[in-house]
């Protein structure tokens, strides 16, 4: 039996097997994050592994440690610094240390500087002086704000309400409200102006009727 072709096939497949094993291998990646401007450690930097839920945050001394694979990419972000990334596979090709399990790196992050407008501080001795100064401020009004203020003017709103056409839904709502008001007030006496003469006459009528009822002969069984 000629085993030479079999050996050649195994030798040809061996790099593929090794490569697949390397792809699945997990490394403990540890790093130190330093400011490129000040050379000081950057604390509490967020490290995120692409397309995964894995991540870490550097400690107060800028150190972190996270498990990674050759196909991972680390994204580093921190307020006040430009975001950066590290491709693990490319870094491993240039890594000169022991690649058995633990990998180490030093990251340099560049500060993201921006310039703000100058701030002028005015000293005021009392809250009343501050309130007066705020009221008297001459501020540029935004055009949209000015339009909104004009639209909220009471005279403008009244004009809109007077000229706004009434739709069917609003007519139905008004009719329901009118019916409800009439139903709740139907057992109430009409609210008219108070007439003292009519009140005295009504009271005298009630008294006279009561007297006639008391003096009336109620003996219905005898002829009068």
The reported pLDDT for the residue numbered 220 is 45
Position 20 confidence tier, pLDDT thresholds 50, 70, 90: very low
For residue 173, pLDDT over 90 is answered with: no
Question: What's the CA gap between 106 and 109, in Å, rounded?
Answer: 10
| CB count in 10 Å sphere of residue 103 | 19
**Largest CA-CA distance found in the chain, in angstroms, rounded:** 155
Percent of the chain, pLDDT > 90? 30
Question: What's the CA gap between 69 and 23, in Å, rounded?
Answer: 7
Question: What's the CA gap between 90 and 105, in Å, rounded?
Answer: 13
Question: What's the CA gap between 82 and 223, in Å, rounded?
Answer: 120
In DSSP terms, which residues pair with 87 in a beta bridge?
A: 73
pLDDT tens digits, residue range 48-81? Answer: 999 888 899 999 999 999 999 999 999 999 999 9
Question: What's the CA gap between 144 and 142, in Å, rounded?
Answer: 6
How many helices, marked H, and strands, marked E, lie in the chain?
7, 7
Determine how β-strand 55-57 pairs with β-strand 84-87. unpaired
Hey, what's the torsion of the CAs at 160, 161, 164, 170, to 10 degrees?
150
The reported pLDDT for the residue numbered 67 is 93
CB distance 104 to 30 below 8 Å: yes
pTM equals 0.44
The reported pLDDT for the residue numbered 3 is 57
Average pLDDT value over all residues in the chain:
79
Q: Where are the alpha helices (DSSP H) in 141-195?
A: 143-151, 154-163, 168-185
Kindly state the average pLDDT of the residues 200-217: 77
pLDDT tens digits, residue range 86-107? Answer: 999 999 998 888 888 889 999 9
CB distance 68 to 55 below 8 Å: no
Give the containing element (helix H, strand E) for 30: strand 27-35
For residue 138, pLDDT over 60 is answered with: yes
């Amino acid at each position: 039996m000629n085993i030479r072709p079999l050996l050649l096939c195994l030798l040809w497949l061996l790099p593929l097997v090794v490569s697949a094993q390397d792809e699945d291998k997990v490394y403990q990646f540890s790093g130190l994050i330093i400011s490129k401007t000040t050379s000081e450690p950057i604390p509490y930097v967020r490290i995120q592994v692409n397309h995964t839920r894995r991540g870490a945050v550097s400690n107060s001394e800028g150190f972190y440690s996270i498990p990674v694979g050759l196909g991972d990419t680390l994204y580093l972000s921190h307020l006040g610094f430009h975001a950066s990334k590290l491709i693990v596979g490319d870094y491993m090709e240039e890594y000169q240390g022991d690649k058995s399990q633990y990998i180490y790196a030093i990251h340099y992050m560049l500060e993201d500087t921006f310039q703000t407008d100058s701030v002028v501080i005015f000293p005021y001795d009392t809250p009343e002086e501050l309130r007066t100064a705020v009221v008297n401020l001459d501020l540029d009004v935004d055009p949209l704000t000015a339009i909104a203020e004009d639209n909220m003017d009471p005279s403008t709103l009244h004009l809109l309400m007077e000229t706004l056409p009434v739709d069917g839904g609003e007519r139905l709502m008004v009719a329901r409200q009118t019916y409800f008001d009439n139903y709740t007030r139907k057992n109430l006496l009409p609210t008219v102006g108070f007439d003292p003469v009519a009140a005295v006459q009504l009271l005298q009528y009630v008294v006279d009727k009561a007297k006639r009822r008391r003096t009336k002969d109620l003996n219905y069984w005898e002829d009068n």
